A and B are shown apart, each in its own frame.
Chain A
Amino acid sequence: MKSLTLRGWVTLIGLVVLALLPVFINRQLPLTILQQWPWLGGHFDFVTFLTGQEFYLVLATRLVILAIAAVSLNLILGYGRMISFGHAAYLGIGAYAVGIPAYYEIYNGFIHIGIAVVVSAAFAFLTGLVCLRTRGVNFIMITMAFSMMVFFAFVSIEEYGGDDGLVIEVRSEFGQWVNLENDTVLYYVCFVSLLGILYLIRRIVHSRFGMVIQGARGNEGRMQSLGFDTFRYRLVCYVIAGALCGYAGALLGNFTSFISPEMMDWTRSGELIFMVVLGGTSSLFGPVLGASLFILLEEILSGFWLYWQLIFGIFLILVVLFAKGGIDSWLGRRPER
């Protein structure tokens, strides 16, 4: 067996911790699983979680969902250097794709996910047609502007709660085997989704398509003179990233059970960028590390001091100054790939 590098170990340990977290939190997990799949065993009473322990599961679920969003952002930000400041819009679109059908008492999860992915992809396609004609600061501004348009659109739709948001009473239904009403099951659905999306991105990045995207990041003019219509390749990449984040949004909608336009505020987009930069751009696992550190620091610091964001900001500046390439570069990643 090939010996693992420090990066490899961190990735492996990170994933194992995430995979086993609910087992530590809830020692009665085996019972939970048996209750979920009754055909595995007998019938068990409702499993109650101890309050403090359940809290960590909630934290971990949020972490995993935001990690998916950060991983999807990294596809365009890291590998394609398309610095989107509007990625949280897809989280919101995905969440409302659960909330609005639920409002009309449509609880089928496949419909929710389908709407989330298709609408996110369509939004990415239409806005991408405009955004991707710009570069640099203009791209940042215009992606932010589009996300604010969605933000205000949902603020103004009174039917779905407007500013006050929308409560989702019932989580998405996926038939009898996957019951999202159980927090542990929801967590594992999120975790498996993260694994699947990491694998998907890994394949994309090394594929011919991924080569074109990374080539256009390095030298777009040259790529065009080689014969690549870089605009179209970037647009497809932008749509893939949007659709994946829309999926994360659908999970987020299920998780929070309360959704509001605030989810797609530009500061949320900024947080996603923060996670990617913190973890390491254009590294596969970097955004997961970034999201993890972000959530943990937020949790710890906000317990200490009301103005914890101040410390957070200083921390980011230090990361950008002294660890170009984020946490992942500390772990010995080869530069700029």
Chain B
Amino acid sequence: MGESVILGIKDLYKSFGGVAAINGLTLDVLEREVHAVIGPNGAGKTTLVSQLTGVGLPDAGQVVFRGRDITRMPAYRRPHLGMARSFQITSIIHDMTVLENVVLAVQAKAGHSYRFWESAIVDDQLTEPAMRALTQVGLEAEAMQIAGPLSHGEHRQLELAMVLATDPELVFLDEPTAGMGREDSTRMVSMLESLKGSRTIILVEHDMDAVFALADRITVMVEGRAIATGTPDVIRADRLVREAYLGEDMNTAVK
């Protein structure tokens, strides 16, 4: 883990109809760390991810990526700086094959797509990295199937493959284990573990097992604000955090 800041968030505000979803959040994410963001429902975690990925624009505050102010940069330009995200609610292209979904992710990073003549799906420059990403998440056997009818677990794997295929430096994972059973969830966590150290990951997650297994540092969000940031041990021991959020759950979840 390096010590330099890859993503700096300063005094971020975002409200919807007078209700503050993010209320003066300040946070530094370090190079190559897995930084988990936890908090009760409605704490503003998903809103935070959309503000950081440009899907929504903050009312006030600043987001700096590698020294560059990206607060108001449109969503489609951010991946070209090396950012990628997965969605809490699976977001894939249902009527395309698994491979085509990932090919699009590779294509996004392979320069412009104003190429009108050669077929994309037989282009090795696209399909080879795509197949690599699918192999990485264990979905290579399903490459030629239409993505829509696959299982929920497979959708989550595809979602991750699309993130990996863009070879990002900074990844936002919004509840990668959402809706998964124990088995799938464990597999997903070990898959994410293998990514540790190679890129920066901002992990929003409800599953405390996953969070404490993966995170280098944890930020606890309550009512749109970061009430604590620190290593898992520090967060475990923090009285404020226990009172505000973890409570009884924490004892059972983290033993």
Contacts and interface: CB of A to CB of B under 8 A. Distances in A.
B103 A229 contact: no
A211 B117 contact: no
B122 to A, nearest CB: 9
Interface of A: 203-204, 206-212, 214-215, 218-219, 221-230, 233, 236, 335-337
Contact of B120 (A208, A219, A225, A229): A208
Given A222-B92, A225-B76, 16 more contacts: A203-B117, A206-B119, A206-B120, A208-B114, A208-B126, A209-B116, A215-B93, A218-B93, A218-B96, A223-B93, A224-B75, A226-B108, A226-B166, A227-B76, A227-B79, A227-B166
Given A206-B119, A207-B115, A236-B114, A225 B95 contact: no
Interface residues on B, range: 35 or more
A211 to B, nearest CB: 5
Contacts of A337: 95
B113 A209 contact: yes
A251 to B, nearest CB: 23
B79 A207 contact: no
A223 to B, nearest CB: 7
A206 B116 CA distance: 8
A222 B75 CA distance: 10
A185 B130 CA distance: 49
B80 interface: yes
Interface of B: 53, 55, 74-80, 84-85, 87, 91-96, 100, 103-105, 107-109, 113-121, 123, 126, 162, 166
B96 A226 contact: no
Contacts of B113: 208-209, 211-212, 228, 233
Given A219-B92, A219-B93, A211 B104 contact: yes
A230 B116 CA distance: 16
Contacts of A208: 107, 113-115, 118, 120, 123, 126
Contact of A219 (B94, B103, B123): B94
A221 B126 CA distance: 21
A222 B84 CA distance: 11
B84 to A, nearest CB: 8
A337 B94 CA distance: 11
Given A209-B113, A219-B94, A337-B95, A226 B120 contact: no
A199 B92 CA distance: 29
Closest 7 A-B residue pairs measured CB to CB? A227-B79, A218-B93, A227-B108, A226-B108, A208-B113, A206-B119, A336-B95
A218 B76 contact: no
B100 A226 contact: no
B107 A225 contact: no
Contacts of B93: 214-215, 218-219, 222-223
Contacts of A207: 115-120
A40 to B, nearest CB: 35
B116 A204 contact: yes
Nearest to B109: A227
Given A210-B120, A215-B104, A223-B104, A229 B95 contact: no
A212 B96 contact: no
Contacts of B94: 218-219
Nearest to B172: A225
B96 A215 contact: yes
Contacts of A230: 76
A232 to B, nearest CB: 9
Contacts of B119: 203, 206-207
